[in-house]
């Protein structure tokens, strides 16, 4: 369990179905405690993977600042839907997503609206795999070799 502390970095690594590799890094990452429904906070995006956790427009899709939702705990920002139930997994949904890493594993020609996806600018990127890694913030570098 991550405690309330602004002392972590997040690295998101994905491969699309063309085996193209993308990385996004966030210099600050933390999750609030149970009393705040495990609310997500991320800032400081860099990398060749788009920032699909926070966007200025439309802001109703932002994941940053959202509480965690599951099929049986509808905490998302959608006034008419339970996004976790519709899109296949627990996540920091708003109304509903610009990234959906907990959706089903499927290719573009399948049930595409519910697949594991990450929006890249105006295009939906269907993911072959995704990895989220966290690390304590100890300086400028995310990983030391």
CATH superfamily of 8-136: Gamma Fibrinogen, chain A, domain 1 (3.90.215.10)
pLDDT higher than threshold 50 for residue 144: no
Query: What are residue 124's DSSP bridge partners?
Result: 119
Q: Rounded to an integer, what distance in angstroms lies between the CA atom of residue 86 and that of residue 39?
A: 20
**Residue range 117-130, pLDDT digits in tens:** 888 777 788 899 99
57: number of CA atoms within 13 Å, CB side? 1
Q: How confident is the model at residue 61 (pLDDT cuts 50, 70, 90)?
A: confident
What is the reported pLDDT for 4? Answer: 46
| pTM assigned to the model | 0.83
Q: Rounded to an integer, what distance in angstroms lies between the CA atom of residue 73 and that of residue 1?
A: 19
The domain segmentation of the chain, as residue ranges, is 8-136
pLDDT higher than threshold 90 for residue 143: no
**Residue range 88-119, pLDDT digits in tens:** 889 999 988 888 888 888 876 666 667 888 88
Most confident of 10-19, 56-65, 99-108, 110-119: 10-19
Q: What is the mean pLDDT of residues 42-63?
A: 84
């Amino acid at each position: 369990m991550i405690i309330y502390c602004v002392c972590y970095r997040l690295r998101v690594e994905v491969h699309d179905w063309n085996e193209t590799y993308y990385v996004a890094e966030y210099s600050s990452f933390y999750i609030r405690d149970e009393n705040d429904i495990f609310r997500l906070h991320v800032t400081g995006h860099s990398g060749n993977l788009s920032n699909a956790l926070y966007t200025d427009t439309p802001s109703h899709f932002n994941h940053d600042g959202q509480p965690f939702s599951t099929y049986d705990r509808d905490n998302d920002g959608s006034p008419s839907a339970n996004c976790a139930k519709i899109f296949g997994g627990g996540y920091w949904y708003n109304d509903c997503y610009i990234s959906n890493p907990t959706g089903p594993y499927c290719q573009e020609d399948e049930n595409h609206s519910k697949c594991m996806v990450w929006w890249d600018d105006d295009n939906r990127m269907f993911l072959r795999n995704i990895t989220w890694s966290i690390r304590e913030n100890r300086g400028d570098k995310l990983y030391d070799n």
